[in-house]
Amino acid sequence: GRGLRRKKGADGRHQPHRGGPEPEVLRQPDGGPARALDARVRASFPRGAYVLFAAGPLVCLGKQFAMMEMRMILATLLQRVEPNLADGFEPDFVTELSMHPGERGMQADVHFY
């Protein structure tokens, strides 16, 4: 990869918000960011390729707070819903390390109260 030489003791800054994703890593031949929605493409990105929020020594200080807030919001919303399986739907449970609803997902009617 590219390097940058600095004199010993010189100040330096990393500003990921200015550069966004590394163009050498995340080339976009189709001209748009939508390709990152494809799970296979995302899996090919090296760890830390897009560091604005996710990784590195300057990881977002609010990341853990945001994750906690999302859990709290979800827990609050789930206290106010009544999920029921959709009429006629039989789930296919797959038991691995944890149980999940299989390829068909879970069809449910959700009522807020």
- Give the per-residue pLDDT at 13: 63
The pLDDT of residue 87: 92
Mean pLDDT confidence for 66-94: 89
The answer to whether 90 and 108 are in contact (CB under 8 A) is no
Lowest mean pLDDT segment, chosen from 38-47, 61-70, 97-106? 38-47
pTM comes to 0.38
Using 50, 70 and 90 to split pLDDT, how confident is the model at 5?
confident
* One-letter-per-residue 3-state SS of 36-105: HHCHHHHHHCCCCCCCCCCCCCCCCCCHHHHHHHHHHHHHHHHCCEEEEECCCCCCCCEECCCEECCCCC
